[in-house]
Structure 1
Amino acid sequence: MMSVTPIPALSDNYIWLLRQDTSQSVCVVDPGEAAPVIEFLERESLTLSCILITHHHHDHTGGLAELIKRYAPHVIGPANPEIEGIDEHVGDGDEVRIMGRLFDVIATPGHTLDHISYFTAGIPALLFCGDTLFCAGCGRLFEGTPEQMYTSLKKFAELPEDTLVFAAHEYTQANLTFARAADPENEDVKHALQECEKARALDRPTLPSTIGRELKINPYLRVGTDSVRQAAGTQGVNNDDLATFTTLREWKNRF
């Protein structure tokens, strides 16, 4: 059975640690800094055998060099020369075996052009989506286009609804506050915000989410609904979901 544990890092990052219950070897996803990973591994007497990278931003790769020097793990990530230390470059349609489970690599550009995500089916199904999909939100478009990001999100929407979503940041409260404005008639959003506020008051993570939950509360996955279109002011715009998504993303940038 695979377990996934959050290691808080930087100001609001989560470095996800994957472990099979019968093994002391583990994998981490997007180590933005090394110190919290090292502290966790030493405390639990674990060995770092693998690292997954979703994209090149420093808050996802900043700990790579130190972790490689200390543990010599196998590093898997996108084919981007900006990322030093990757042993195995992967892209859309590739498969990698991590901790005994087969993961599909999905190209998810938008936040960055090199962004990839990792999905494994089974019980439970797991998605490590970096900065593409957040709970009730999505990443800023630093390099990609709205169309690229919207296409990436549609890929996620087609995954099984019970898929656990492991995003890389604790942005849930801010995202739900925006979702309340972007989808004002959505009772699921109101309830989710209440739950989130309680969790954060206790300093508890709001992640993982699930695909099914995101389909109910994430305005970027609900651009075809009347409530979101009305809030975005895109009703009657040729029934264009992309136009609604683009408006929402620009609105969130200023929110």
Structure 2
Amino acid sequence: MIHVHQFPCLSDNYGYLVHDTVSHETVAIDTPDAKAYLFEAEQKGWRITQIWNTHWHPDHAGGNETIKAATGCTISGPAEVRGKFPIDRVVAHGETLMLGAVEAAVIDVSGHTNGHIAFHFASAGIAFVGDSVFALGCGRMFEGEPRQFWESLSRIKALPPETLLYCAHEYTASNARFALHADPDNAALAAYAEEIAAKRAANQWTVPTTLERELATNPFLRADDPVLMAKWGGTAPHETFAALRAAKDAF
């Protein structure tokens, strides 16, 4: 059985420690703030035995060296991490990682960066998606191109709808404002946005989110919806996605 410990760090990141109660292994999903990760692990009475990086950005892999020095853990991640931050094992789409006897599938979700990956624990119904998708949003397209990013989001869309998506930032309130602009007639979105506003007013987290809810409300996951395609143009979903991403960048 695995247990997820979530905590805020840096200005708007979420940190995640995933603990296997059988093997007592603990994996740090990304390392935005080494000091915070080591403190949270100590408070839980866990020892970090692994790090899994989703992509190379410093607020995701910048704590690798410090945590490895303190714990002796092993570090796995995409090839793009190598040469920028310490890594022991390069993993790619279709491979698996193990936390004790619990398996996580590695999924290519490139687009935000060209090597971005996600980790799907099918047996637990959870996925750690980094900056590929957020509640009501998706990551900026720093390195990829629209067709690539849409294909990545399509892999996330194909997961079981009840999957809990653990994304890396608390961006939901600003994402909601753009989503309402992009898809103003979506009743489910309007209700979701109201809930988000109430949570943030009470200083509550909006992450994790469910894939099912995002499929109904997240405009970037709905770029293949005829209503959005008609509104935002494009004869193919990746073209509509590109228009949405460009609009969000300028919003």
With normalisation by structure 2, the TM-score equals 0.95
Instruction: Name which of structure 1's ranges 144-153 and 22-31 shifts more when overlaid on structure 2.
Output: 22-31
SS at match of 1:48: coil
Partner of 2:186: 186
> 2:184, 2:230 → 1: CA distance?
10
CA apart distance, 1:65: 1.1
1:254 aligns with 2:250: yes
Query: What's the C-alpha RMSD, in Å, of the aligned pairs?
Result: 1.4
CA apart distance, 1:44: 2.1
Which residue identity does 1:31 align to in structure 2? T
> 2:167, 2:72 → 1: CA distance?
25
Decide whether the 8 Å contact of 1:153 with 1:221 is kept in 2: yes
CA apart distance, 1:84: 2.6
1:175 aligns with 2:175: yes
SS at match of 1:141: coil
Decide whether the 8 Å contact of 1:184 with 1:227 is kept in 2: no
> 1:22, 1:121 → 2: CA distance?
17
1:8-67 deviation line (CA, Å, top 9, x unaligned): 111111111101245643111111111111111222221111111010000101111110
CA apart distance, 1:75: 0.8
CA apart distance, 1:201: 1.9
> 1:241, 1:229 → 2: CA distance?
7
Partner of 2:117: 116
Decide whether the 8 Å contact of 2:26 with 2:99 is kept in 1: no
1:8 aligns with 2:8: yes
Which residue identity does 2:175 align to in structure 1? N
Partner of 1:147: 147
User: Structure 1 residue runs of 4+, over 3 Å off?
Assistant: 21-25
Partner of 1:57: 57
> 1:179, 1:207 → 2: CA distance?
17
Partner of 2:39: 39
CA apart distance, 1:6: 1.2
Decide whether the 8 Å contact of 2:76 with 2:91 is kept in 1: yes
1:71 aligns with 2:67: no
SS at match of 1:17: strand
Gaps of at least 5 residues in structure 2 are none
> 2:213, 2:137 → 1: CA distance?
12
Partner of 1:85: 86
Decide whether the 8 Å contact of 2:20 with 2:99 is kept in 1: no
Decide whether the 8 Å contact of 2:108 with 2:152 is kept in 1: yes
CA apart distance, 1:227: 3.3
Partner of 1:162: 162
> 1:197, 1:21 → 2: CA distance?
35
> 1:27, 1:89 → 2: CA distance?
16
> 2:199, 2:22 → 1: CA distance?
30
> 1:83, 1:3 → 2: CA distance?
30
CA apart distance, 1:197: 1.4
With normalisation by structure 1, the TM-score equals 0.93
Q: Does the C-alpha gap of structure 1 residues 4 and 190 become closer, same or farther in structure 2, counting only changes over 3 Å?
A: same
Partner of 2:99: 98
Instruction: Name which of structure 1's ranges 179-188 and 75-84 shifts more when overlaid on structure 2.
Output: 75-84
Decide whether the 8 Å contact of 1:117 with 1:129 is kept in 2: yes
SS at match of 1:165: strand
CA apart distance, 1:230: 4.1
> 1:24, 1:203 → 2: CA distance?
32
Decide whether the 8 Å contact of 1:136 with 1:219 is kept in 2: yes
Matched length? 250
Partner of 1:227: 227
